[in-house]
Amino acid sequence: MSIEIHDVMVSNVITIKKQTTIEKAVKLMNKHEIGCLVVEEEGKPVGIITERDLLKRVLAKSKETRKMKVEHIMTNGLISVSPKIEVEEAARLMCQKKIKKLPVVENGKLLGLVTLTDILRMQPQLISMYKIFSSGLAPRRMKKVFDYYLLLQTESKSPEATCSTVCEPSALRKMR
C-alpha cells in the first residue's frame, strides 16, 4: 500500500507576504506554534521562512528585526511537491535537498505543507523511512528528529533503550 503526500499533509498553511517584517513573521509563528511560514505573492508560493532562517540570518547576525523584511532572509527557490507524490519519494527529496518542510503545490496553488515530523509519525512506513534516514544522505539534524521520535515511542516501553538499539530493524518491527 502506498501513501501519498496529500494523505499526511497539513492543508491549513499559514502564509505571509515578502514585505512582512521579521517581527510580524515571528509573532505569527509563535501565535500558531509553527516552525515555518510559506511566502506567497499574488496567491502563489515563492519562498519559505523557517526557524533556521531566523537563527542563521537574523539572530546570529544580530540584525534589527523590527524593520527587516521577510524577503531578505527567506529561502528562495522554493522546493515543493505535487499532492500525488508518494511519501517515500517526498522523504527522499527532503534528504537530498536537506530540508524538513515541503510545501504541497498544484497548478501554482499552495494546497498544504508536509514536514519531516508529519512523515515520521506514520507508523506503517517507519521501516522504509528508516532506510532513507540511515543511508547517510540525511543531515545529522534530520536524523536527530527521526531518532527522537523512535526513542520517544520506545522509551515508553523500555527506558533503557538507546539510539543504537532502537534504530535496528528488529526494534522497528516491535514498534509497529
- Whether 116 and 158 map to the same domain: the answer is no
Alpha helices in the chain (DSSP H): 22-32, 51-57, 87-97, 116-120, 126-133, 140-155, 163-166, 169-175
Length of the chain: 176
pLDDT digits (tens, 9 = 90+) for 34-79: 999 999 999 999 999 999 999 888 887 765 777 788 998 899 999 9
The Cα-based distances of 162 to 125, 167, 174 in angstroms read 21, 8, 15
pLDDT of the residue at 36:
95
Q: Work out the mean pLDDT of the chain and round it to a whole number.
A: 79
- Whether 70 and 15 map to the same domain: the answer is yes
SS3 172: helix
Residues 6+ apart with CB under 8 A from 88: 2, 125, 128, 129, 132
pLDDT of the residue at 21:
94
124 or 19, greater pLDDT: 19
- Whether 51 and 107 map to the same domain: the answer is yes
- Whether 37 and 83 map to the same domain: the answer is yes
pTM for this entry = 0.58
- Whether 26 and 106 map to the same domain: the answer is yes
- Whether 105 and 138 map to the same domain: the answer is no
Q: What confidence category does residue 7 fall into, taking pLDDT thresholds of 50, 70 and 90?
A: confident
- Whether 131 and 101 map to the same domain: the answer is no
- Whether 162 and 109 map to the same domain: the answer is no
Tell me if 115 sits within 8 A of 38, measured CB to CB.
no
Residue 82 sits in a domain of what CATH number?
3.10.580.10
- Whether 28 and 109 map to the same domain: the answer is yes
pLDDT digits (tens, 9 = 90+) for 19-34: 999 999 999 999 998 9
- Whether 46 and 116 map to the same domain: the answer is yes
Name the residue range of residue 140's domain: 123-175
pLDDT of the residue at 103:
97
Percent of the chain, pLDDT > 90? Answer: 45
- Whether 154 and 89 map to the same domain: the answer is no
The Cα-based distances of 8 to 20, 83, 151 in angstroms read 29, 10, 22
- Whether 144 and 67 map to the same domain: the answer is no
Range of lowest pLDDT (67-71, 98-102, 142-146):
142-146
Total structural domains within the chain:
2
